[in-house]
Structure 1
């Protein structure tokens, strides 16, 4: 067995792990990167990249059949599902070199393609290598959670790790789980010509503000996706040679749904089972590795970042964590996680995006808040593009400091960037009201919402009296 003594050992070559390894190598720090699966992790191979490529193809098909409002005759899209999936694969292939073994080796990272496990508090075994590093960073991500549904072990089912390998269009896709992954894939497959049913035990897109999710759910249902909320999956069984029958229960009783394919999209679980965390003295539970706000584990030599920590499970969070850990590892700088500045987006159509406190959270933590809204329908660019469904919702404290922002509508995922910056810099609505937005753009929607903060001021008798007095001076 070969012993390695790098300064840093990174376990997991997803977004967070790659960022740590690349940054360390850039400063000339000896670093070993261990990955048991595919370089790039879930985001590149099974998550963000393929799903957005599929959504883009579905959007193209949808636009072709919805041009009547612009005076353009609708054209029925002829979907070649195999070619759609080739587009998905080509998108992954175009990005993959950035995350490849070859690139990271060229950067100076020693890449070991084996499974890693701790044998004690300061040693990791990976294949024929024994690694004793000054510091370890665990960035092993998460995997699809497969719930204990009766009969599931006897049927073929898909997860986000297998659905993008399909080359035949599902005739009827049944999606168990109405979270972001489930709803994004449900709408995309419907637009590509599949019948789609979503079964959700609670409320679809339930982690976002219901005032905003209503826009997305209304549109998704209008496009033909059958969204069943507050519905339990009682069991599944085979139907014919390749189909599936899903038994459900809701307030009206028990019934069954027949489909051609079954997608399980009921959440994620951390990839910790094979790591030997107990031998390393690293505390963990079913949600993941327990870390401090500095992302340090109970073993002072070990940090953990990204999905494996059980917090917000987004690629950009892993990248954010990587930056904090690099500051601590290389420069001994104190860097604490601040979840209030983390945005997220759901790429349904319309999109939903959020950063900071929700209205409900703000009411619990602040004595007085202001809720500022502005609809897409009052925006000139949205009217020109016939994308008038949606609104922006700002939450401020009594002094006008921005506490949170939520957007439902076209380009919400792009527009939330501005508000993420505003929160990170602790800006107020006065700051937003003072900047100039190009016309016509949808970003004006946010500025108009911010300006409504001053509406009450215009009605105050004292302010009006001052204006009257000043007018007399010419």
Structure 2
């Protein structure tokens, strides 16, 4: 029986971050993982999907570049080669992470599934591991909706979609969130006939409705079919095809595809942990934690998807670092989520930081909202990147920027300027005092800021170029 200063259950992004921080305090850490080693982001999430998206992006650019005077003839797709490249890249990430663990003398890696025996010990196979502190970072598992006939008919999830080397002729995608839209667009650009089925009234239903409506329009322009307000009734096999029976806005439809991709979200992976023995409370969404990432058991913390707060890698790392710090420091850190950036790598990209209009209304805040389209921005026009727009929310009294939403090109890079501005609680007036390079895509933020400023009591007028 071995005892450690910290026992971390789960070696993904959040768990590794907690372990790394704890070793910085000179602590001895047991890092337990049931495998395969690497965590969701590296193995089945962020990194493999973005690797594939780059290939489909290039294929799309080659197929549409004639409008810019560059015609590409004889374009061929080597899809097994695309998957092989992805596998090689992912192996590099896994090897790098393993070397970080292996080379740290304060981390003992233990492979196996952990189960609590008490608040101070877990069992891994025949081993009993004791710890002064614990961090639960077991990630999430796929959620499969209870649609009649789905399991009997068969389907693939994002796990299989990222691995298969053959392309179906047609694909029905169940879901309207990040994974469904990213992979749906990827396969469409690879030549697959793709149809999206979302049960809510818009894509990206957690965002303001205008975002999902606009994105659906762009996906349809690329040849994808998008259905919202879907009520699934049954899924069945019809020869070599799979049949989706549903109602869309109350109207019955029957859709057939060669394959079905289920991308309806994930849920906290807490099964078999025996959290009751540790005195750790949890809900269907995840482990209950406070701002210090501490659970209902004072010596046990949690981080990442296991908490159900934000299923995002950068949030998992953030929470893991806080958990590793608070486990041993007398000066406590508290998690705050006002400035969590969210990005979906569709084309156009969706990126946001801060509140939605819906959230502002729910909080009873009076805000001024302004938007500006990319098709009226000089740099976007020059480069042919005119899809989408930027929307900004500001406090109706002070002009403080409360939220920025971007549907357009280079969103993953552009949004961070607004993240910094909001970190320092900048107002639209202060934003307009910053000189923006011209021509640049980042200039677009000045236009909704200017409109909001005009509506406030202290208007600012930009000088003409």
TM tier, shorter chain? over 0.9
Residue of structure 2 equivalent to 1:468: none
- Alignment check: 8 A CA contact 2:399 2:453 kept: no
Q: Secondary structure at the match of 1:66?
A: helix
Residue of structure 2 equivalent to 1:435: 434
Deviations 1:231-285 (A, max 9, x none): 12212222335x3222222345433222111111111111001111011111112
Aligned partners of 2:58 and 2:406: how far apart in 1?
Answer: 23
Measured after TM superposition, the shift of residue 143 of structure 1 is 1.1
- Alignment check: 8 A CA contact 1:216 1:351 kept: no
Scaled by the length of structure 2, what TM-score is found? Answer: 0.94
- Alignment check: 8 A CA contact 2:401 2:425 kept: yes
- Alignment check: 8 A CA contact 1:342 1:356 kept: yes
Residue of structure 1 equivalent to 2:90: 92
Inter-CA distance 76–359: structure 2 relative to 1 (3 Å threshold)? farther
Check if 1:111 corresponds to 2:102: no
Deviations 1:76-119 (A, max 9, x none): 6322221121122122122222221x430211211111001101
Q: Secondary structure at the match of 1:134?
A: strand
Moved more, 246-255 or 59-68: 246-255
Inter-CA distance 77–252: structure 2 relative to 1 (3 Å threshold)? farther
Residue of structure 1 equivalent to 2:64: 66
Measured after TM superposition, the shift of residue 379 of structure 1 is 2.1
Measured after TM superposition, the shift of residue 388 of structure 1 is 1.4
In the TM superposition, 1:174-185 aligns within 5 A as 174-185=172-183
Measured after TM superposition, the shift of residue 440 of structure 1 is 2.1
Deviations 1:14-54 (A, max 9, x none): 11111111222234210110010222211111111111111
Measured after TM superposition, the shift of residue 366 of structure 1 is 4.3
Measured after TM superposition, the shift of residue 399 of structure 1 is 0.5
Residue of structure 2 equivalent to 1:353: 351
- Alignment check: 8 A CA contact 2:38 2:97 kept: yes
Aligned partners of 2:456 and 2:274: how far apart in 1?
Answer: 61
In the TM superposition, 1:110-149 aligns within 5 A as 110-149=108-147
Moved more, 417-426 or 390-399: 417-426
Measured after TM superposition, the shift of residue 342 of structure 1 is 0.7
Measured after TM superposition, the shift of residue 457 of structure 1 is 6.5
Residue of structure 2 equivalent to 1:402: 401
Residue of structure 1 equivalent to 2:273: 275
Report the RMSD for the aligned CA atoms in angstroms.
1.9
Inter-CA distance 333–162: structure 2 relative to 1 (3 Å threshold)? farther
Measured after TM superposition, the shift of residue 424 of structure 1 is 2.4
Residue of structure 1 equivalent to 2:453: 454
Deviations 1:316-348 (A, max 9, x none): 110111222233123222222212111101111
Aligned partners of 2:41 and 2:324: how far apart in 1?
Answer: 21
Aligned partners of 2:74 and 2:346: how far apart in 1?
Answer: 21
Residue of structure 1 equivalent to 2:332: 334
- Alignment check: 8 A CA contact 2:385 2:409 kept: yes
Measured after TM superposition, the shift of residue 428 of structure 1 is 2.0
Scaled by the length of structure 1, what TM-score is found? Answer: 0.92
Could you list the structure 1 runs, at least 4 aligned residues long, displaced by more than 6 angstroms after superposition: 457-460
Aligned partners of 2:74 and 2:443: how far apart in 1?
Answer: 34
Unaligned runs of 5+ in 1: 465-474
Moved more, 108-117 or 248-257: 248-257
- Alignment check: 8 A CA contact 1:26 1:107 kept: no
Q: Secondary structure at the match of 1:370?
A: strand
Q: Secondary structure at the match of 2:158?
A: coil
Measured after TM superposition, the shift of residue 408 of structure 1 is 0.7
Aligned partners of 1:257 and 1:392: how far apart in 2?
Answer: 35
Residue of structure 2 equivalent to 1:157: 155
Aligned residues: 458
Aligned partners of 1:36 and 1:204: how far apart in 2?
Answer: 35
- Alignment check: 8 A CA contact 2:142 2:265 kept: yes
Unaligned runs of 5+ in 2: none
Residue of structure 2 equivalent to 1:393: 391
Residue of structure 2 equivalent to 1:51: 49
Aligned partners of 1:217 and 1:145: how far apart in 2?
Answer: 23
Deviations 1:389-441 (A, max 9, x none): 22111111121111111111001121111222222222222332222222322
Greater Cα radius of gyration, structure 1 or 2: 1
Q: Secondary structure at the match of 2:19?
A: helix
Moved more, 393-402 or 88-97: 88-97
Check if 1:263 corresponds to 2:261: yes
Aligned partners of 1:152 and 1:93: how far apart in 2?
Answer: 33
Measured after TM superposition, the shift of residue 353 of structure 1 is 0.9
Aligned partners of 2:309 and 2:280: how far apart in 1?
Answer: 17
Q: 1:15 aligns with which of 13, 16, 22?
A: 13
- Alignment check: 8 A CA contact 1:159 1:265 kept: yes
Aligned partners of 1:10 and 1:431: how far apart in 2?
Answer: 44
Aligned partners of 2:212 and 2:75: how far apart in 1?
Answer: 28
Inter-CA distance 296–458: structure 2 relative to 1 (3 Å threshold)? closer
Measured after TM superposition, the shift of residue 367 of structure 1 is 4.3
Q: Secondary structure at the match of 2:454?
A: helix
Aligned partners of 1:274 and 1:75: how far apart in 2?
Answer: 55
